[in-house]
Amino acid sequence: MSNSIMRTLSRGLAACLLAITYTSTTAIAEGLDYPPTERGDVVDDYHGTEVADPYRWMEDIGSPEVQAWVEAENALTFGYLDGIAGRQDVFERMMQRVDYERFGAPVEAGGRYFYTRNDGLQNQSVLYVSEGLDGEARILLDPNAFSEDSSVSLNTWMANDDGSLLLYAKSVSGSDWVDWFVRDVATGEDLPDVIRWGKFGVASWGPGSSGFYYLTFPVPEEGAEFTSANVDRKTMWHSLGSEQSADELIYELPEHPDWWISAGMNEGRDLLVIYLSDRGSTGNRIYLMDHADPQHSVQKLIDEDDAEFGFLGNDGDRLWFQTTLDAPNYRVVEIDRNNPARENWKEVIPESRFPLSSVSLTGGYMICEYLQDARSAVKLHDMDGNFLQDLQLPGVGSAGGFYGKSDAAETFYTYTDMTTPGTIYRLDLATLDSELYRRPELSFDPGNYVGEFRFYRSPDGTAVPLFLAHHRDIVLDGSNPTVLYGYGGFNSSQGPYFSTSRTVWMDMGGVWAIACIRGGGEYGEAWHQAAIKTHRQVAFDDFIAAAEFLIDSGYTSRERLAVMGGSNGGLLVGAVLTQRPDLFAAALPQVGVMDMLRFNQFTAGAGWESDFGSPQDPQEFAAIYAYSPLHNLREGVCYPPTLATTADTDDRVVPSHSFKFTAQIQHVQACDNPVLIRVETQAGHGAGKPLAKSIAEFSDLLCFALHNMGVDIPEALTRFE
């Protein structure tokens, strides 16, 4: 996948607004007494358009007023959920299904193999190491021991080149902030080195394991840790054995405090590759820095951000990049560092009709993963770009991995599809033969389920892919509970994958559908660009068309259709429920971007202007304001039953988005359909969330949907027994 993680104003402004005089509103639906929510009189002027923001005070997420509101809303929500018959049974069934041994693909370093394993119900997967691939494994890191409640997780890890040291990051409550530690692999003991206020798990080992580079930001003010804007990025160097206060500033760009900047080392550990993206740009620049240069001078190898450039590797001054320049489906080019003008670039792998989603330089090969109608196809090329052969995958699904060094003798990859759990294969790079390495042993038969692949038409005639899965014995008569899931943004592709929790939904007669709408990367950069900025409505039109297709094709009905999506997908759900409230039986927006006029004021939000545009731009404001979920909720409209989810320490999409949206929809709701919010505690945007919390949230969402579809959950659980 390409493009960035979705990329915060300090709490001072929100705090000062608490002094505003309020009026109180209370609404009632389905016998629910919504907590009184104060409405202020804040009004902003956007290019001559006055926009009220009555819930601005909710942006101060740590204030007593907001905390009291959250507690009251959670009490209402969990009281409602507790009244759903069969809810606990669904949770327990999902926990039973996920109770199987799971592994991550192994990573080799210095003859040692590092991999994650979960024995089934562990809240956090455990990191193991073995001497050789078949050696006896031992626990190297157990994140379940980081905290009593499993709220501290292992964010990322990387072994040094000889496998003697492990650099790893801890995240507290799912935050993007991380602390870095170094563990001696042989002894299992941590070195004294501790680095605070790292971000996004961005770091890389330097040469000889003498230290590492890492990304950091200015330490936020107390109380603004989860909301302050991510500006003034810095790449630092930490020498092992020293204090963090002695760390050396390697690169910053104070003249552009809002640019996205990150850096990582090449395989040879002599070259630092720096990525720079202008605020709002979908492209990036590439600067180079020699590690041995005491002046830290940079070579501006690519100083235009008119395309996306991803560094793949180098052999001396020969550098390989994957790029969208003159190739919306991506190609691979070679750049001579000593002669880097564009007219001297060499095309190594030309653009194909299918997007080139990833390239790994492993074992002397370019291992290229393409997306053919959102499903993986893997082709092997030599280092000059000559095609060698296709890799025969186990089916038509999603493959990923293929990591390794340039002299690796093997690599590992994972395969999954809608009905096949993630299975690990070992690829012998001498023979190019694949062999099964690890396959999950499930307590149920995945053969009970079938996957489908369909196309449907969006209003402008575009064919959009749709993945579906359901029980093989289901009757498609239009009465089946159906979840339509989507994302549609940031060039992120939605492919087929297996979920044990989803099988419980399918056991109750449910259909699961994934729409590969525009804004994603399923058909390359053109597919992405078709639904960004002023064209954002295209993604919503695609999603609405998917819902209509499912109804018209007899999979479900309006009374049995729920929509779900997270983060940018939460925005998607918020937008379509305001535009077509008549179309859905339930709406399930998760950690959504709901206030599209304020998203760029918090944490990494300014970086999202690459997809959303900026409300500070008059033309882009008009497009954003037309669909912003918070601002398109109208009085007198009956909105579908809605359960929004967020978390108190989400510093990717700050929870005030969901707070304000929920308060407003409760304020305007014109019928008895419930509109609720479920706020998870000691959790973030999703990564690192303990297993039990993840399953509980997912089962609550599905039970809420089933209840509002009129499905008898206890009876549905026995449907195929």
Sheet of 309-315, strand order: 309-315, 318-323, 331-336, 346-349
Q: How far apart are CA 459 and CA 466, in angstroms?
A: 15
Q: How far apart are CA 22 and CA 57, in angstroms?
A: 11
- Ordered DSSP codes for 367-424: EEEEEETTEEEEEEEETT--EEEEE--SSSSEEEE----TT-SEEEEEEEETTEEEEE
Copy the structure tokens of residue 239.
């020498």
**Nearest CA-CA partner of 710 in 589, 590, 588, 586:** 586
324-355 burial: b if 16+ Cβ within 10 Å, else e: bbebbbbbbbbbeeeebeeeebeebbebbebb
> What residue type is 437 in one-letter code?
Y
Q: How far apart are CA 433 and CA 140, in angstroms?
A: 31
Ordered alpha helix ranges (H), 614-655: 618-627
**Nearest CA-CA partner of 629 in 661, 604, 605, 599:** 661
Q: How far apart are CA 489 and CA 607, in angstroms?
A: 13
Q: How far apart are CA 38 and CA 28, in angstroms?
A: 16
SS3 634: coil
Distances (CA, A) of 497 to 106, 329, 494, 677, 686: 20, 23, 9, 28, 18
Q: How far apart are CA 704 and CA 643, in angstroms?
A: 7
Distances (CA, A) of 68 to 159, 218, 356: 44, 30, 49
DSSP 273: E
End-to-end CA distance of the chain: 39
**Nearest CA-CA partner of 622 in 535, 534, 539, 541:** 534
310: β partners = 322
Neighbours of 203 (CB within 10 A): 27
In 185-323, the DSSP E strands lie at 190-205, 211-216, 234-239, 248-252, 260-265, 271-277, 285-290, 299-302, 309-315, 318-323
Q: Is 31 left (phi over 0), alpha (psi -120 to 50) or beta?
A: left
* Active site (catalytic) residues: 567, 685
Distances (CA, A) of 67 to 54, 597, 660: 17, 23, 13
DSSP 258: T
Q: Do 312 and 323 meet the contact criterion of CB atoms below 8 Å apart?
A: no
Residue found under tokens 């699904």: 397
Q: Do 397 and 420 meet the contact criterion of CB atoms below 8 Å apart?
A: yes
> What residue type is 422 in one-letter code?
G
Q: How far apart are CA 161 and CA 122, in angstroms?
A: 29
Please compute Rg for the chain using Cα positions. Answer: 25
